[in-house]
Amino acid sequence: MNIQLNGRAVTTGAHTLSELLMEQQIDAACVASACNGNFVPKSQYDTLQLEEGCQLEVLSPMQGG
C-alpha cells in the first residue's frame, strides 16, 4: 500500500500504525503521531488501520533554546 509519511511517499506492507513504526525502525515510545491531520494516542497505535493514501505525521520532541 502507498501512504505519505512525514510528506514522503512510502510503500508499506504494514496494516497498523504500530507495524509501520516497527517497519520504519521508529521507537513508538518517543514519538507523537497524527493520521490525516488527527492526533493518534499511543493507546491506538496497535489498532489504527492504515489505508491507501493516508497521510501520517510522526514527530519526535526536540529541545531548543
Please report, for the chain, the start and end positions of each structural domain, with discontinuous segments joined by +: 2-59
Give yes or no for residue 63 having a pLDDT over 80. no
Q: How many CA atoms lie within 13 A of 33 on its CB side?
A: 26
Which helix (H) or strand (E) is 17 found in, with range?
helix 17-23
pLDDT category at 64 given cuts 50, 70, 90 is confident
pLDDT digits (tens, 9 = 90+) for 2-56: 999 999 999 999 999 999 999 999 999 999 999 999 999 999 999 999 999 999 9
What class is the 2-59 domain? alpha beta
The DSSP 8-state label assigned to residue 45 in this structure reads T
**pTM exceeds 0.85, yes or no:** yes
